[in-house]
Each structure stands twice: as structure tokens, then as C-alpha cells.
A = this chain, B = another copy of it.
Amino acid sequence: MANSTLPFHAFVGRRVYINDVAMRDGLQIEPEFVPTEDKIRMVNALSRTGLAKIEVTSFTSPKAIPALRDAEAVMKQIDRMEGVSYVALVPNLRGAERALECRVDEINMVMSASETHNLANVRMTRAQSRRMLTDIIQAACGAAAINISISTAFGCPMEGAVAAREVLELGDWFAQQGATGITLCDTTGMANPLQVEALCDGLAERWKGLELTLHFHNTRGMGLANALAGLNAGINRYDASLGGLGGCPYAPGATGNVCTEDLVHMLAAMGCDTGVDLEALLACAAQLPQLIGHDVPGQVLKAGKSDRRYPTPPDFVESRERALARDGSASDGKAAASS
């Protein structure tokens, strides 16, 4: 397996870090409130799978996102596992203060690379977001890790193409201000592998010392292909959402975030070291439909892992005996060949 002249063979043994965002990015758009104790139970179960990070909740206004109105209760009552970083999204300084009171390991903040999406998503101009996020970095610096998620980094559903230099310049700014991590988000699933390669080439070097994460959506089926392109460009951190939970209010009809168990399954099959126990993760994903009241788009949960074995068909032994008996003559041609 160790032919390192082949690009993907270089992935074998590579450490890849997974941040599960289902409990925040997924639940925030669910119409039904998930009871606090169920959220805590799910975070605790996720904590035991080996995930590097869990985005637990958002310290936002209960009016804005009623689904996450129990942020304090969840954050304070979960078991904190050694080695897992517990993240919360915060929309403003008050949110950051609430998150720090709950001793989050990492604060995540969002702004868009495109002006229109930033206004539509967080109701601020980019200049306002940049100032506010900078203020929060200064206030929270040292008390927690601080990640900036740059939305629409691969395209804006309203404006269209987003210039790479806008994204890079934003990242440079927050790196200078003291952010400890930057996530490039493909908010509505517009990215393709060529674009991922182009934007991410040299980024690990440019933002050395920062945690650099990619956040893909599977809107047009390219989620795992984009992750592959990210790996190829040297990026080792990925957001993903259990069951593929999540979506985007600005892209109705679209499927959600890249599915955590599908991503971990692919990475494991390619020999990457995610640290995640896939069976334990699948057990978490299997509980999702009951938690949220509907099916989820994850595929490995439905199909089983690649190494799943099926029994031979009921007429197999008879078929074989008949085949051997007529050896040399042609088939009866009655089988429905699948390719």
C-alpha cells in the first residue's frame, strides 16, 4: 500500500481531524425542539467516538434560534472528555461571554466572504462583522481557542463567484488579530475539486500555526470529492455533520453538510487515521432519526460499510450445481446481470 509516488497513497497513516457540527449546524434548522437531555446524551455519545471536536451549540438569542435556546444547560451538563475540544458558535460579544462562562474550549464565529450573504446571514455589513469579530477575539483571547468560519468561501448563492483574494485577505486579517483557527466554508455546496485545490494550494503554509479546516456541503454530490481535493492540498481538518444533518436556508431543496460517518468511512478505507471508532459513530447516527423525527441523508448508515458481507442468494447452491452439471454448454441466459 505504500507507493508514495501515487498521490492518494500518501494519505495512508495521515492524521485527519474531524469536527462534528450536527448538534449546532444541523439542529439549528430543525423545526422541532430536541429535549435538552437528548442533546446531552447525543453529545456524550459523540464524545466517546474519538472525534477531535464537537460543535455543541450556539450562544445566540433564543428568539433567533429557539432550537438552541438551551445552550447553557447543554454546555454545562455534558461530560467533557479528555482530548475532545468542545466548540460553541457565538454571534456577538454577549454570546462569547455566555460561552466563556460555560468554559467552552473553542469559540466559533461566522462571517461571509461575500457582502450580500453576510448581510442576509448575520445582518451586518462585512466591515461591521470584521470589527465585531475582532473585538470578540480581543475579549476572549487566551480564555478559549477562537475559530473564524468564513462562509461562502467557495461561492455565494446570491452574488455568484467569490474572489479567492477576498477569502485569503479575510483569513490573513483574522490570523493577525489572534484567531487560532480558520474554517473555509462551502456554505451552499458550490465548490468543486479543482476550485478546492486552487484555493487551498499553499494555504497550510500561509496560515501556518493556525488550525485550518474545510467545511463542505454535499448539495451537488461533490462533498467527499471536495474533501479528497482538500486532503490532496494538505488540509487535515474537516467539519462534517452526523447523518448529513443540516442545510442552508438560502438554498432550499439542497441536501446538507457532508455526512460525518460517510467522510470517516472514506478516510478509514483510504488508511487515514481519524481517531474515530466508525462503529460507535454509526451507532450515534442510527439514533438521529428518532432524535429529530425524520430520516437523514447519510449513506453508509443505510448501505453498511464497504466490508459488509451479504449471504449468497437462496438458489445459489442449486445454481452452482446446475452450472457445473452443464459444464461446457451455454447458460440459460435467465439471470438479470448487474454491472
Q: Give residues in A with beta carbon < 8 Å to B.
A: 1, 3, 6-9, 11-12, 21, 25, 28-29, 58, 60-61, 63-65, 89, 91-95, 108, 110, 116, 119-125, 128, 131-132, 149, 151, 155, 157-158, 160, 183, 185, 187, 189-195, 197-198, 201, 215, 218-225, 227-229, 232, 239, 248-251, 253-255, 259, 262, 265-266, 269-271, 298-300, 302-313, 316, 319-320, 322-324, 327-328, 330-339
Contact = CB atoms under 8 A, between A and B. Distances in A.
A306 B192 contact: yes
A271 to B, nearest CB: 6
A121 B335 contact: yes
Contact of A125 (B11, B223, B270, B324): B324
- Among A12, A266, A316, A333: residue with most chain B CB under 10 A: A333
- Among A229, A307, A337: residue with most chain B CB under 10 A: A337
8 contacts: A8-B197, A64-B336, A189-B306, A194-B269, A194-B270, A221-B300, A248-B338, A255-B299
Copies in the complex: 2
- Among A1, A157, A192: residue with most chain B CB under 10 A: A192
Given A119-B323, A123-B331, 11 more contacts: A8-B193, A63-B334, A108-B339, A123-B334, A123-B335, A193-B266, A218-B221, A220-B303, A225-B225, A225-B266, A250-B313
A221 B262 contact: yes
Contacts of A332: 61, 123
B303 A58 contact: no
B271 A333 contact: no
Nearest to A197: B8
A252 to B, nearest CB: 8
Given A8-B229, A93-B330, A262-B220, A336 B160 contact: no
A201 to B, nearest CB: 6
B254 A197 contact: no
Given A91-B335, A266-B220, A335-B91, A319 B119 contact: yes
A228 to B, nearest CB: 5
B331 A266 contact: no
A250 B338 contact: yes
Contact of A116 (B119, B218, B259, B312): B312
Contacts of A300: 220-221
A270 B192 contact: yes
Contact of A95 (B220, B310, B333): B333
Given A8-B197, A270-B194, A330-B132, A303 B255 contact: yes
A60 B334 CA distance: 7
A19 B146 CA distance: 48
Given A64-B335, A157-B309, A249-B336, A92 B330 contact: yes
A222 B306 CA distance: 11
Contact of A306 (B122, B125, B190): B190
A174 to B, nearest CB: 15
Contact of A337 (B121, B239, B316): B121
Nearest to A224: B225
A327 B123 CA distance: 12
